[in-house]
Amino acid sequence: MPRYKLTVEYDGTPFHGWQRQANGLSVQECLERAIKRFCGDKVTLHAAGRTDAGVHALGQIVHVDLSRDHPAHRVQNAINFHLQPAPIVVLGVDEVDKRFHARFSATARHYRYRILNRTARPTIARDRIWHVPVALDAAAMHEAAQVLVGRHDFTTFRAAQCQSTSPVKTLDFLRVDRRGEEIEVNVSARSFLHHQVRAMTGTLKLVGEGKWRIADVAGALAARDRSHAGATAPARGLYFVRVDYD
């Protein structure tokens, strides 16, 4: 059975997250249906990351085993045809070694959080960005964010329903930049806790508003208690950007 690696882009707005579930349509279910329509195979897809309801992806990585060989371009075109009109598209397909695993072979995952920082609400991007009308100091947010870089116990930024066996993670990169009316939070690590990026962003927003200082972020991290952090930022501003592999 050949194994294929799929690079997938999707708008998470209408979905109940990546993972197949009983209470609503998921990205995984849409893709698995499209593959069945293409080649008749009933498959289970494996993804690099399980995005929540409303979270988007620019470069989600998925692998799937099919019952027989197909040219990669045919796999891509056929799946995209059967995905219509869902806001999901396969950007690329590669046949890979059976040792490749979309989740377990990943060496780094990269996320981006978008904040629209202006008084006027968004229209076109309303489901794809967090609107914060109060002026934010992006430079102060970036400075405070560096407290979180490195290996730490991130219990403070962990959702109650997180299934990770350990709250200890290594954050490789965390940067906050202003680009006109938009503020971007870019973050990289091998793996993340459930809601970690959104919880960190919600906390850094308090710094941007001038309500918190660097010491408050450090204190929240050290507390190892979710109640010590800021509110979890909305799902609509989060993007799963890409995955690195050796």
Structure tokens at 138: 């992006």
Structure tokens at 129: 């960005």
How many angstroms from the chain centroid is the CA of residue 117?
21
Beta strands in 68-136, from DSSP E residues, in sequence order: 88-96, 106-116, 130-131
Q: Is the peptide bond before 87 cis (omega within 30 degrees of 0)?
A: no
Cα separation, 202 vs 115, whole angstroms: 11
Structure tokens at 8: 């997938």
34 close to 82: Cβ distance less than 8 angstroms: yes
Which residue in 52, 127, 137, 244 is the catalytic one? 52
The one-letter amino acid code at 140 reads A
187 close to 200: Cβ distance less than 8 angstroms: yes
Cα radius of gyration (the chain): 19
How many other C-beta atoms lie within 10 A of the C-beta of residue 197? 28
Could you confirm whether 52 is annotated as catalytic?
Answer: yes
Q: Is 76 helix (H, G, I), strand (E, B) or coil?
A: helix
Cα separation, 82 vs 97, whole angstroms: 26
Cα separation, 233 vs 133, whole angstroms: 14
Residues acting as catalytic residues: 52
